[in-house]
Amino acid sequence: MEAKSLPRQLIALTINLRAGLRLASNQQLTPNNFIYSIDQLLWLFALIFSLEISVTYLAVDKPATFSAYGLNHLGAVYLFDLLILLAISRLVHANTSDTGKLILAYLSSMPIFIIVFQTLSMPTHLYYDHPQSGGLLLLLLLAWHLYIILRLMRIVLSLSLGKSFYLATTAFLLSLSSSVFLPYSQLWYSDEPPQSDSLYEKLYKLSIEDLFYDQYPMVDKTLNGLTSQRPGITDLYLVTVAGYGLENVFLNEVEYVRELFDRRFDTSGRSMSLVNNIDTLSRYPLANRHNLSDSLSVIGEIMDTEEDILFLFMTSHGSKDPKFSVNFGPVPLDDITPLQLRQALDQAGILWRVIVVSSCYSGGFIEPLRTPNTLIITAAEKDRQSFGCGVKSEFTDFGTAYFKHALDKEPDFIEAFDIAAKWIKQKELREQRKHSLPQRFVGDEIRDKLSQLGEMRYSESTTYRQTYR
């Protein structure tokens, strides 16, 4: 292309983009509003691919790595759409000129469609965080795409409304089907943080055999360090469990909670942690079902099960099954089910229980664990996700709300839940997330039992109630 023709090409491109905008926005339009040439087809392809690369880059966390496979997928999608238009042109016996006009008009409308689609979906990851609103928006965008194709049939090919609707719907459905049979590949991928590479390197250097052989003496040493119960005093025993070993957020939570309880609830000497984390293998036993069951069994022997209370805090990812995720990379560990947890507590003979499960779908733990002597608190309803985990997170939303914003000031476990649930709802409203709906079950007997911990409450709680409630 000669340099002197470049301005003319750019002017023609501007005219075509303006006509494409009119096509996509229901403005008056004729085929003569477009400038047709092979050069313009190439310019439009270059612009479309540049836009796709740019807007998808903005949508991913940084740093990001470009994938050439994404270009293959993108090219296949647009090629398939153009083949559909060519087939329709052949079906209606359109001449070569009208076929060229059809393809150019379609490509001219795509830049505005790409910009609007990505702009609406990118800011809040709408389709993941708000499936109902995101689904409605997606339907509207798809309907818009169908409308663009319908106008192409009417304006460029001069077909009747009925025939245009039939052919446009067929073309739209065929285009939509490409998402099923064309292998998908993103243009950009978020790079793993450097610490993640280091983490996996460390994990795969572990001797799994040595790790498992170390567990029994480590659990035994931890339990032997616990202080016996005090007759006539309602002692609180604390067990914290960080199940998912590939994110430090869960370790952060159990260590904060243990420090808080040792300081505020007199659990010093009566608290222990089970943690899956590469940096704590010499400090804490692994968080797995057998270590948890063994620990509860020994604590049941140390405490006065008729007098003392167990506070069990478990934090990790979760699933709808429901299950509590126990994951440590290449180390084979099984997730924990509510029934397995109930069985471990029953076999330990622990009567008075406060159980806090912080994970997605954790509401599914309530029904299997409920007894008259149990308070159960979960971060989410059984069909809802909770938020705030991730390699970059310091604390989950529930952990922040319950332990930092509520329980650190209001030591009543039940009242603190009300404060935390309100805080979470307000945060999720601000962030336009689907509400996690934290849940609480209070057994008939546990409320009076918890009142016996009243002497451990501190004077600031009165001020806190007056200020925040």
| Residues 8, 142 within the same domain | yes
Backbone φ, ψ for residue 432 (5° rounding): 55, 45
Q: Is 276 within a domain?
A: yes
pLDDT, residue 281, reads 93
Angle between helices 289-302 and 208-224 (to 10 degrees): 10
| Residues 216, 179 within the same domain | no
The enclosing H or E element of 309 equals strand 309-315
Tens of each residue's pLDDT in the chain, 469 residues: 444 578 889 999 999 999 999 999 989 988 889 999 999 999 999 999 999 898 888 877 667 778 777 788 888 889 999 999 999 999 999 998 889 889 999 999 999 998 888 777 654 444 444 445 556 777 888 899 999 999 999 999 999 999 999 999 999 899 888 766 776 677 886 554 444 446 767 777 888 888 899 999 999 999 999 999 999 999 999 999 999 998 999 999 999 999 999 999 999 999 999 999 999 999 999 999 999 999 999 999 999 999 999 999 999 999 999 999 999 888 889 999 999 999 999 999 999 999 999 999 999 999 999 999 999 999 999 999 999 988 778 999 999 999 999 987 788 999 999 999 999 999 988 888 889 999 999 999 999 999 877 654 443 344 333 433 3
In 3D, which of 408, 433, 434 has the Cα closest to residue 420? Answer: 408
| Residues 100, 219 within the same domain | no
C-beta of residue 293 within 8 angstroms of C-beta of residue 222: no
DSSP 400: I
Backbone φ, ψ for residue 375 (5° rounding): -105, 125
**Spatial separation of the C-alpha atoms in residues 132 and 126, rounded to whole Å:** 9
| Residues 306, 362 within the same domain | yes
The DSSP annotation for 324-346 comes to: E--BBTTB----B-HHHHHHHHH
| Residue that is last in its domain, among 190, 218, 250 | 190
pLDDT, residue 457, reads 47
C-beta of residue 248 within 8 angstroms of C-beta of residue 278: no
Q: Is 203 within a domain?
A: no
Q: Is 467 within a domain?
A: no
State both tokens at 144: 């818009």
**Spatial separation of the C-alpha atoms in residues 171 and 177, rounded to whole Å:** 10
| Residues 316, 184 within the same domain | no
Q: Is 465 within a domain?
A: no
Sign, CA dihedral 71-75-81-82, equals positive
C-beta of residue 419 within 8 angstroms of C-beta of residue 362: no
Q: Is 205 within a domain?
A: no
| Residues 242, 172 within the same domain | no
The boundaries of the domain holding residue 34 are 3-190
Strands, E, within 350-416: which ranges?
Answer: 352-358, 374-378
| Residues 216, 182 within the same domain | no
CB count within 10 Å of CB 176 equals: 12
β partners of residue 352: 309
CB count within 10 Å of CB 76 equals: 14
Give the total number of structural domains in the chain: 2
Single pTM value for the model? 0.59
| Residues 79, 125 within the same domain | yes
| DSSP-derived 3-state class of residue 419 | helix
Q: Is 197 within a domain?
A: no
pLDDT, residue 127, reads 43
Give the CATH number of the domain where residue 257 resides.
3.40.50.1460
| Residues 85, 152 within the same domain | yes
C-beta of residue 287 within 8 angstroms of C-beta of residue 274: yes
The residue count of the chain comes to: 469
